[in-house]
């Protein structure tokens, strides 16, 4: 543990020392160069980018390193001012003011949570503009102008404007680029791009540099608008990182050219101070033009990236999901499909894309009314169907509306295989309607079939009621075990002689029923053969026991406007006649 702690401590001290050296040396070089090029040694520089390196270091470093970074920047400021302006104790005050305005900007950015990604979106751009472009420089301009008044006798008003403009421009222009270099954003952007993308970025920056150099290397034409065009191109193609680099290029090339007396700024034939202020306004215009565009492009790019990530995640989820999804637009045209489409429908996404609702219904087996009608309601609708190409399956389709601001944008159909559930439900239903001794329908199941038959006026239906003759004596003589075997044999013989469309039921005890899908003639023919089979063959044989039995049948035919009760009563009266006319026979209702 002690060794690990020592290693962590050495790494932290090394990182702090590296940050301090970077701040001190970088500040000194930028400050000294800027003072030499844009100041007469007494007034403030035209552009002051040195504070940007300290602000960038503060934004990429933990709070515990801030004191040493600020001290390093203070030292770099003192050295640069001393060498270029002459050594005096008042220079320490300038360094303190510069570090105060930089620290204020860093604190404000960190509190607003905009320091991690400068210019990432409109919100972070506004926070950056307010913190580094207004509040921080305003504090420094106020204190710095007081110091210049005391040290050099500089007028407060012009000094304030020059300090504020130079520091605000320096922080706004240079900080994002330096932060991007320090936190690795530019390196990551380069690595993540393809070779074509890298060549495009280099080419666009090269064109921008060449165009900016051409504009500022002549004194004949007012072409200050041209760098804005190439800068906007960088914004649209490369986003905020490209915009930041593009503004830096204009500031460097234009600043050097303006200092040398070249470029469109000198066509106005004003004083050097006026040229410097005008160039500041020009750079400010570039920032106000390019920053919103870069923020918008970055936000859109990130939104598209998140959308692509979500689309990939959704595709991954659907590929491992039991669902399939079909999306329709407001006109009823399939615009998107994914999931287990091939397994469920026998058709892939490519077969469905661009197809209309009726075409989808024809290809899949879903009903057109479900797709077109259910989607127009406010409630979520469901339906079950067997796909045209997967008839052995049962799918559940759920359809819901996609709305925005009350307007219907389309609908989404979700498909799920419910074949196992339907089979289980059918098995449970069969168990609930099946006699557990004989396997025939029980009274509940038979009543359900009888209700359906009576409701369908187009069907010809006949009913046979059957009793086993003298069944009580069989139970009393041979026991209930033998009696149960007899009942099972009765059902077996009934099923052997009836069709799959006929319903066979045990109503209770030794009472049975057959619901025939046909007229009286069919029922009478089947029942006569059935009674004859009992006269020929024993219903139970075991060891020396050979048991014969007979059955009595009463049949009736369903007539128009006949109720279920009358239908059943007619067959029951016929059965009563059969029992009282010798048993072992068939009687039809009159």
Residues assigned a catalytic role: 510
**Is the dihedral angle over the CA atoms 312, 313, 319, 323 positive or is it negative?**
negative
3-class DSSP assignment, residue 396: strand
3-class DSSP assignment, residue 466: strand
Spatial distance between the Cα atoms of 467 and 474, rounded to a whole number of angstroms:
13
Tokens linked to 489: 């044999």
Nearest Cα residue to 47 out of 318, 287, 305, 234: 287
Are residues 279 and 258 in contact, defined by beta-carbon separation less than 8 angstroms?
yes
Q: Residue 567 burial (CB < 10 Å; 0-12/13-18/19+)?
A: buried
3-class DSSP assignment, residue 204: helix
User: What residues pair up with 540 in beta bridges, in sequence order?
Assistant: 547
User: What residues pair up with 323 in beta bridges, in sequence order?
Assistant: 416
CA separation, residue 339 to residues 152, 323, 413 (Å): 76, 6, 12
Are residues 156 and 149 in contact, defined by beta-carbon separation less than 8 angstroms?
yes
Q: Is 543 left (phi over 0), alpha (psi -120 to 50) or beta?
A: left
Spatial distance between the Cα atoms of 153 and 125, rounded to a whole number of angstroms:
37
Spatial distance between the Cα atoms of 280 and 342, rounded to a whole number of angstroms:
64
Cα angle 108, 113, 114 (rounded to 5 degrees) comes to 80
Number of Cβ atoms within 10 Å of the Cβ of 548: 12
Spatial distance between the Cα atoms of 47 and 81, rounded to a whole number of angstroms:
15
Spell out the residues 6+ positions from residue 164 whose beta carbon is closer than 8 angstroms to its own: 137, 138, 140, 141
Spatial distance between the Cα atoms of 278 and 47, rounded to a whole number of angstroms:
12
Residue reference for tokens 């209770």: 508
Number of Cβ atoms within 10 Å of the Cβ of 559: 10
């Amino acid at each position: 543990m002690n060794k690990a702690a020592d290693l962590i401590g050495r790494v932290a001290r090394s990182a702090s020392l590296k940050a301090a050296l970077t701040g001190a040396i970088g500040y000194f070089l930028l400050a000294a160069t800027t003072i030499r090029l844009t100041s007469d040694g007494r007034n403030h520089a035209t552009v002051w980018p040195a504070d940007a390196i300290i602000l960038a270091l503060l934004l990429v470093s933990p709070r515990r390193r801030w004191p040493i970074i600020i001290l390093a920047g203070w030292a770099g400021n003192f050295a640069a001012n001393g060498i270029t302006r002459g050594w005096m104790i008042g220079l320490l005050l300038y360094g303190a003011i510069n570090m105060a305005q930089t620290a204020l900007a860093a604190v404000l950015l960190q509190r607003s949570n905009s320091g991690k990604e400068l210019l990432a979106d409109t919100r972070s751009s506004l926070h950056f503009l307010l913190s580094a472009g207004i509040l921080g420089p305003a504090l420094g301009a106020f204190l710095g102008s007081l110091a210049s008044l005391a040290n050099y006798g500089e007028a407060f008003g012009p000094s304030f404007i020059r300090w504020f403009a130079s520091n605000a421009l320096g922080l706004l222009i240079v900080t994002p680029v330096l932060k991007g270099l320090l936190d690795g954003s530019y390196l990551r952007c380069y690595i993540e791009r393809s070779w074509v993308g890298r060549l495009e970025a280099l080419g666009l920056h090269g064109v921008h540099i060449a165009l900016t150099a051409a504009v500022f290397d002549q004194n004949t034409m007012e072409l200050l608008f041209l760098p804005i065009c190439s800068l906007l191109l960088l914004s649209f193609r490369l986003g905020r990182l490209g915009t930041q680099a593009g503004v830096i290029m204009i500031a460097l090339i234009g600043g050097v050219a303006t200092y040398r007396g070249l470029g469109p700024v000198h066509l106005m034939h004003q004083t050097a101070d006026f040229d410097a202020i005008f160039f500041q306004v020009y750079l400010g215009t570039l920032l106000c033009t390019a920053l919103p565009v870069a923020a918008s492009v970055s936000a859109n790019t990130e939104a598209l990236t998140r959308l692509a990530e979500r689309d990939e995640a959704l595709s991954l989820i659907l590929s491992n999901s039991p669902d399939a999804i079909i999306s329709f637009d407001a006109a009823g045209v399939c615009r998107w499909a994914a999931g287990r489409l091939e397994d469920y429908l026998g058709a892939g996404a490519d077969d469905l894309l661009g197809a209309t609702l009726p075409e989808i219904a024809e290809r899949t087996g879903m009903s057109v009314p479900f797709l077109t009608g259910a989607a127009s309601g406010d409630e979520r609708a469901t339906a079950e169907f067997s796909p045209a190409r997967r008839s052995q399956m049962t799918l559940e389709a759920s359809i819901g509306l996609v709305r925005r601001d009350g307007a219907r944008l389309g609908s989404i159909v979700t498909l799920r295989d419910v074949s196992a559930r339907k089979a289980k439900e059918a098995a449970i239903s069969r168990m609930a309607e099946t006699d557990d001794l004989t396997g025939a329908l029980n009274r509940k199941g038979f009543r359900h079939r009888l209700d359906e038959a009576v409701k369908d006026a187009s069907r010809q239906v006949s009913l046979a009621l059957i009793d086993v003759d003298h069944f009580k004596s069989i139970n009393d003589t041979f026991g209930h075990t033998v009696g149960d075997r007899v009942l099972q044999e009765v059902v077996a013989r009934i099923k052997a002689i009836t069709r799959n469309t006929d319903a066979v039921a045990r109503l209770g005890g030794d009472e049975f029923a057959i619901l025939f899908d046909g007229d009286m003639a069919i029922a009478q023919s089947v029942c006569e053969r059935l009674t004859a089979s009992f006269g020929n063959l024993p219903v139970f044989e075991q060891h020396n026991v050979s048991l014969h039995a007979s059955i009595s049948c009463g049949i009736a035919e369903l007539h128009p406007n006949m109720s279920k009760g009358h239908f059943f009563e007619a067959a029951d009266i016929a059965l009563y006649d059969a029992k009282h006319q010798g048993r072992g026979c068939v009687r039809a209702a009159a």
